[in-house]
Structure formats: C-alpha cells, structure tokens
Amino acid sequence: MDRRKLYGIAVKVLEEKDRKIIEIYEKLLEKINILPKNCDNFGLIHTDIHFYNKYIYKGELTFFDWDDSAYKHFISDLAIVIFYHFMYKDVLQEGINVQSRHILALLVEGYNRQNLLDISFLWKLNDFLLLRSIVIYILLVAAATSKSKNLILHSFIRKTRNFIINCVPFLDMSFVLDGFEK
C-alpha cells in the first residue's frame, strides 16, 4: 500500500491514544528511507506474501496477487513472510525465534540465487517487522467497527497495539542470525 494513502487512513481512523503509532511510523520510515539501495537489496517485491497468495504444484512455488507489488528493500518481503507466519499464532518467543531462524535461512537461500544479500542487512529485520505490524494495525482498525463482535480480531488489535507502542522487538536477532555467514 502506498505510504501516503496509509498515512491518510491512519490519521482518519486512529484515536487520539494511537497518535504515538503515527509518530513511530514516521520515524521508522525515515530510518528505512536512509538505508542503502542497490541491486542486491532493493527492487520489485511482492509486499503481501502470505499463505493465500501462493500455490505449490509439482514442487514449484508460485506467488500470485501482485497488485500491491512495489519497489522496496528485499528484506521487507522477508519480514512479511515471517510476520504472517506468526500473525494469529500463540507461540512463545523462543519458538518464534527458532522457527524464524529456519524460515529466514530458507528465504535467504532463495534470494541468494538471484542477488547477494548482505547478511548485515538482516539485522534491520525487526524494523521491517515493526513496519508490517503498523500497516496491519492501521488496516485492521479501519476495518473493525466498535460493533464488531470478532473477539479474535479485537484481541489481535490490542496485542499488536501494545507491541507497537512499546517497540517490542519481534525477534531476538542475535539468536536468529547465529550461524549465518557474515
């Protein structure tokens, strides 16, 4: 989603208590925008890779629903895969770190077939996970109404808000990246 459009939605739907989320979003975008951009870390990405946007046939993985694709850092797609993998799961932090290390190893192996990802760039993964959390939070708040009876949705919104407001790292990057080539 276009960042200006998302910002407009945020200003419109977020309550006063959530203005800090907009501040965090703005600072995070500033931080991400100064990251280096080259052919090995920046290019066309899907931006919405999740379980319903893929198809596996005879061992070949195909992604579809590219209407949100954009030119961004490749690490954004890696973060999105990890984010959606855990989005509604109630997994202990240790399990998230263990599974993320495995998922990330596979993703990096795949990306390295086309580009040479600088492993040091992966240390920014929590920033991109926070960005995805903010995007999803804003969109879910916009979609949810006070009349909505979906307890799972409202629970997820509360949990995500606390995660964002407190800037809780999604992953223990020292653990997750342990063993990756430098």
Residue 65 belongs to a domain = no
Residue 126 belongs to a domain = yes
Residue 134 belongs to a domain = yes
Residue 60 belongs to a domain = no
Please state, in angstroms and rounded to a whole number, the distance separating the CA atoms of residues 81 and 50. 6
Residue 48 belongs to a domain = no
Please state, in angstroms and rounded to a whole number, the distance separating the CA atoms of residues 79 and 124. 10
Residue 18 belongs to a domain = yes
Q: Which of 123, 130, 122 is nearest to 23 (CA)?
A: 130
pLDDT digits (tens, 9 = 90+) for 93-104: 778 889 899 888
pLDDT digits (tens, 9 = 90+) for 7-35: 888 888 898 889 899 999 999 999 999 99
- Tens place of pLDDT for every residue, the chain, 182 residues? 677 888 888 888 898 889 899 999 999 999 999 999 999 899 887 777 766 777 777 877 777 777 788 889 999 988 988 898 887 666 667 788 898 998 888 888 888 888 888 888 899 999 999 999 999 999 888 887 666 677 777 888 888 899 999 988 999 999 999 887 65
- The number of domains in the chain is 1
Domain that holds residue 19: 3-43+73-176
Residue 58 belongs to a domain = no
Residue 102 belongs to a domain = yes
